[in-house]
Structure 1
Amino acid sequence: MHNIYELIRELENIQGLSKHEQLVQGIINAINDKVIQRGDMLPSVNNLIKELGFARETIAKGYKELVSRGIVESKNRIGFYVARENTEHNLRIALIIFAFDSFQEVLYKTFRDSLGTPAVIDIFFHHNNIDVLESIIANVRGKYGMYVVAPIPHKKTPEILGALPLNKFLMIDRYLKMDGDFSYIVQEFEKPTYTAFSQLAPAIRKFRGMVHYHRPASDTPIEILGAYKRFVKDFKIKSVIRTEYVPGSIEKGYVYFTINNAELWLMLKDAKAKGFRLGKDVGILSHNDEVVKEIIFDGITTYSTDFAVMAEKAARFVLTREKIQEVVPTVLLRRGSL
């Protein structure tokens, strides 16, 4: 079994972690790993100096922080003791996601509200850039009590995320195969996309064809493109795939499918300007539901996972540490646009 000194030394090479932070997190890790328990005496300042080579002021600062957080108590002329085993009173969580889109905002707010306990959530955006993700992980590892990460589908990602402790790691949004046994709460893309298109086939066939916008270098799941291609082939739907929507190019008689909200708003603006009736003159289908899509233009048809449910389950995992491996269902929400 690890001892306190070993757990503190394990953190010494983490970029950006000061020595006093290393001491604080090492002792917290020792409590969480049951190396020490409530009532146990912690190493003296002199022993820490001898074993770790830390300055006396550094150790005093670390112990002072642990005392202020209620994790450690000081007994005059005796030493420092573990005051409680619940180290999560001021839990720090690193939430690492793609970008702050509207549906990601739902995930964040629901996650924050569902924790129901004092916690600090630092949010980071990797923007589907593997170098940015690698930099974020290098800077946050060892500094947080929990890491909630939406991974990038990239060959380097498993190795990058492997630097995080799996008992404090939760994969959300997209599933990516990694070594080890870890928890995840994710959505599927290919099968739900094909299922949603199949259910909409009778409505789509009322139009001349279908246009899908897919940006190859974007964070759009490639599984969606695969499901779309399979659908139009199986159901013999005339189809065009374009890289981006050109303002003003919407035409009567087609169904338009985009995952990008900025493109969706442009389409709706153009449809209104040209006097097109949604569901009659043109069809609109969007991915990832949100309140505004339920309201505008008598409702936009979407298929989406429930990000609020995903966030609630993520918060429950953070609070209980009970292993979870779950795929949140994706549902079709039919409205006036198709």
Structure 2
Amino acid sequence: MQNIYEQVRELENIQGLSKHEQLVRGIINAINDKLIQRGDMLPSVNSLIRELGFARETIAKGYKELVSRGIVESKNRIGFYVATENTESSLRIALIIFAFDSFQEVFYKTFRDSLGATAHIDIFFHHNNIDVLESIVASVRGKYGMYVVAPIPHKRTAGILNTLPLNKFIMIDRHQPMPGDFSYVVQEFEKSSYAAFSKLAPAIRKFQGMIHYYRPASDTPVEIINAYKKFVKDFKINSVIRTEYIAGSIEKGYVYFTINNAELWQMLKDAKAKGFRLGKDVGILSHNDEVVKEIIFDGITTYSTDFAVMAEKAAEFVLTREKVQLVIPTLLLRRGSL
């Protein structure tokens, strides 16, 4: 402890350095000089008041900055500890998402680039498992300066996420209601899906019917299947809902709609093997756009939100701490497949 006090006192006469900045810099210097290391307990607020004569508010402000930068972690009713020896990182961010699918990779790369080189991002995957999400949140709580979370639609989610500090939290991808005033940058599924289907109705009616593949236990938003059922009823479309696509089962005369990329690639492989022309013999619609869907087979028709914009807005909140509550628009991208 004495080493920390000495490091702080050495900065007393530096012009333009406030007392809270003096405390922050002193602790960082102690870490850089290997006087303290990861896991070591830092002096209590009362000890710092007694040894340095700083105001309680000044010390609280200094520790708050160190915690927000991810250098120090706070353990409730125990104290403050050194969280990392990497003091060059200005901010540590916990990014908690479903998995690393292609569109989430777009989000991550844009998010990382928008934050700049000094931010440190740790990625955690909950795979739509509520127990995994709860375990991740418990393990990261108090150790990061910002928490960016794609939630799970589950009755336990709100209670889990509310254990995080809402001023350091932003919800991404899908919106999950929970108490408190919090920031979010999300997409909307039901109205946007219905709007996309409706615009495609004239093209869909050229075929005998439409087949949608939906796995009830998957992370696919239930709002999409609700919108689909309403659409086929309102527009009197001959429709079948199946749980999975069976390789080789594609038939001429139908529109195929899947959210699962593995199923999409198999459909395209089967269509090519059978000599079907996309947009003529069969129609194909996909959710969540990406570059490859724009290129292959003269383009696959998709409807999708812009995950790059979502990432930019989330990064802006992380950098500025200015509250944001935004729903990113969903766009229909017409191409040759439908």
Q: How high is the TM-score relative to the length of structure 1?
A: 0.78
Aligned-partner Cα distance in 1 for 2:83–2:121: 23
Query: Pairwise CA RMSD of aligned residues?
Result: 2.7
Counterpart of 1:171 in structure 2 is 171
Pairs aligned (count): 279
Q: Deviations over 1:258-305 (max 9, x none)?
A: 000000000000000000000000000000000000000000000000
After the TM superposition, which residues 134-145 of structure 1 pair with which residues of structure 2 at under 5 Å, given as runs? Answer: 134-145=134-145
Q: Deviations over 1:51-79 (max 9, x none)?
A: x998xxxx9x84995xx737xxxxxxxxx
Structure 1: 4+ residue segments shifted above 3 A: 18-26, 33-38, 61-65
Counterpart of 2:281 in structure 1 is 281
Whether the 8 Å contact between 1:25 and 1:143 is mirrored in structure 2 is: no
Counterpart of 2:307 in structure 1 is 307
Whether the 8 Å contact between 2:103 and 2:289 is mirrored in structure 1 is: yes
Whether the 8 Å contact between 1:25 and 1:142 is mirrored in structure 2 is: no
Q: Residue 117 of structure 1: CA displacement?
A: 4.1
Counterpart of 2:103 in structure 1 is 103
- The structure-2 alpha-carbon separation of the partners of 1:112 and 1:249, relative to structure 1 and needing over 3 Å to count, comes to same
Q: How high is the TM-score relative to the length of structure 2?
A: 0.78
Structure 2 residue runs of 5 or longer lacking an equivalent are: 1-22, 24-36, 46-56, 63-76
SS in 1 for 2:188: coil
- The structure-2 alpha-carbon separation of the partners of 1:53 and 1:261, relative to structure 1 and needing over 3 Å to count, comes to closer
Which AA in structure 2 matches 1:94? A
Aligned-partner Cα distance in 1 for 2:257–2:111: 29
SS in 2 for 1:309: helix
Aligned-partner Cα distance in 2 for 1:103–1:247: 24
Q: Residue 116 of structure 1: CA displacement?
A: 1.9
Counterpart of 2:131 in structure 1 is 131
After the TM superposition, which residues 95-244 of structure 1 pair with which residues of structure 2 at under 5 Å, given as runs? Answer: 95-244=95-244
Whether the 8 Å contact between 2:257 and 2:285 is mirrored in structure 1 is: yes
Whether the 8 Å contact between 2:38 and 2:83 is mirrored in structure 1 is: no
Aligned-partner Cα distance in 2 for 1:90–1:333: 39
Whether the 8 Å contact between 2:38 and 2:84 is mirrored in structure 1 is: no
Aligned-partner Cα distance in 1 for 2:320–2:261: 35
After the TM superposition, which residues 241-252 of structure 1 pair with which residues of structure 2 at under 5 Å, given as runs? Answer: 241-252=241-252
Aligned-partner Cα distance in 1 for 2:317–2:265: 36
Aligned-partner Cα distance in 2 for 1:102–1:223: 22
Which AA in structure 2 matches 1:106? V
Percent of pairs identical after alignment?
Answer: 77
Aligned-partner Cα distance in 1 for 2:115–2:255: 41
Q: Residue 102 of structure 1: CA displacement?
A: 0.3
Whether the 8 Å contact between 2:197 and 2:231 is mirrored in structure 1 is: yes
